[in-house]
Amino acid sequence: MFAERIDFSHEASLTIDELVKRVEVHLPESDLGALRRCYEFAERMHAGIKRSSGEPYIIHPLNVAGTLVKLKMDLDSIMAGLLHDTVEDCEVSPEEIAKMFGQNVAQIVVGCTKISKIKFKTKEESQAENFRKMVVAMAQDLRVIIVKLADRMHNMRTLQYMTKEKQQAKAQETLDIYVPLASRLGINSVKGDLEDLCLRYIHPDIYYRLAEKIAMKKRERESYIEETITLIEEKMLEYSVQGEVTGRPKHFYSIYKKMQQRGVDFEQIQDLLAFRVLINNITECYKVLGIIHSAFTPVPGRFKDYIAIPKVNNYQSLHTTVIGPKAERIEIQIRTFEMHEVAERGVAAHWKYKERNKSDAVNKLKWVEELMEFNQNVENSSEFMDVVKNDLDVGGVFIFTPQGDVKELRYGATPLDFAYAVHTEVGNKTVGAKVNGKMVPLKYRLKSGDTVEILTSKTQTPSKDWLKICKTSRAITKIRQHLMKVERDEHRVLGEDILEKALKKFDTSIKSIEKKQEFKIILEKYHYKTLEELFVNIGSNHLPIKEVLVALPSVNFTETDELDFKEDDKELESFYKKTQKTARKSTSNDNAVIVDGLDDVMVKMGRCCNPIPGDPITGIITRGRGITVHTLGCPRIVEIEKSRNVYVEWNKHYTFSHPVNIKVTTHDKPGILSKISKSINNAGINIRSAIARSMPDQKGNFIFEIEVKDYSELLKTISSIEQMEEVISVNRA
Active-site residues, by number, are 88-89
Task: Quote the CA–CA distance of 337 and 334 in Å, as a whole number.
Answer: 10
Question: At closest approach, how far in Å is the CB of 178 from Mn ion?
Answer: 13
Helix (H) or strand (E) holding 485: helix 473-505
| Closest residue to bound Mn ion by CB | 151
Interatomic CA distance for residues 362 and 347, integer angstroms: 9
Distance CA 226, CA 220 (A): 10
| Among 130, 658, 692, CA closest to 381 | 130
Return the number of the residue (49 or 215) whose C-beta is nearest Mn ion: 49
Please give the Cα distance from 327 to 339 (Å, whole number).
30
Minimum CB distance to Mn ion smaller for 151 or for 344: 151
Nearer to Mn ion, 161 or 353 (CB): 161
Element (H, E) at 206: helix 204-216
Which residue type is seen at 148?
A: K
Return the range that interacts with Mn ion (CB under 5 A); candidates 78-86, 376-384, 388-396, 423-431.
Answer: 78-86
Provide, rounded to whole angstroms, the least separation between the CB of residue 60 and Mn ion: 6
Is residue 170 a contact residue for Mn ion (CB under 5 A)? no
User: 146 CB contacts (<8 Å, ≥6 apart)?
Assistant: 68, 71, 73, 77, 185, 187, 347, 348
State the nearest-atom distance from the C-beta of 194 to Mn ion, in Å: 15
Q: Cβ closer to Mn ion: 88 or 705? A: 88
Query: Could you tell me the CA-to-CA distances from 263 to 203, 257, 258, 259, 392 in Å, in that order?
Result: 16, 10, 8, 6, 24
CB-wise, 151 or 417, nearer to Mn ion? 151
* Pick from 80, 120, 81, 117: nearest CA to 100: 80
**How far apart, in Å, do the first and last CA atoms of the chain sit?**
68
Contact letters (x/-) for Mn ion, 129-168, by CB under 5 A?
----------------------x-----------------
At residue 179, the 3 state secondary structure works out as helix
318 three-class SS = strand
Is 28 strand, coil or helix?
coil
Taking the complex as a whole, the smallest distance from the CB of residue 270 to Mn ion amounts, in Å, to 40
- DSSP reduced 3-state for 715: helix
Q: What one-character-per-residue DSSP string does 588-603 give?
A: -SSSSEEBTTBSS--E
Q: Are 274 and 251 in contact (CB under 8 A)?
A: no
**Binding string to Mn ion for residues 253 to 272, with x set by CB under 5 A, is what?**
--------------------
Least distance in Å: CB of 154 to Mn ion? 7
CB 31 to Mn ion: min, Å: 24
Residue closer to Mn ion by CB (options 85, 453) is: 85
Judge contact between 259 and 14, C-beta under 8 A: no
Segment contacting Mn ion (CB under 5 A): 13-21, 83-91, 353-361, 542-550? 83-91
- Among 85, 195, 331, 710, contact with Mn ion (rule: CB under 5 A): 85
Of the two residues 150 and 620, which places its CB atom closer to Mn ion in the complex? 150
C-alpha torsion 106→110→111→116, nearest 10: 140
- Residue placing its CB nearer to Mn ion in the complex, 151 or 284: 151
Q: Smallest distance from the beta carbon of 73 to Mn ion, in angstroms?
A: 16
Residue 192 near residue 248 (C-beta atoms within 8 A): no
Angle at 330 between CA 235 and CA 334, to 5 degrees: 55
Count of residues that bind Mn ion according to CB under 5 A: 2
Shortest spacing between CB 229 and Mn ion, in angstroms: 39
Options 81-89, 508-516, 603-611, 717-725: segment touching Mn ion (CB under 5 A): 81-89
Q: Which residues bind Mn ion (CB under 5 A)?
A: 85, 151
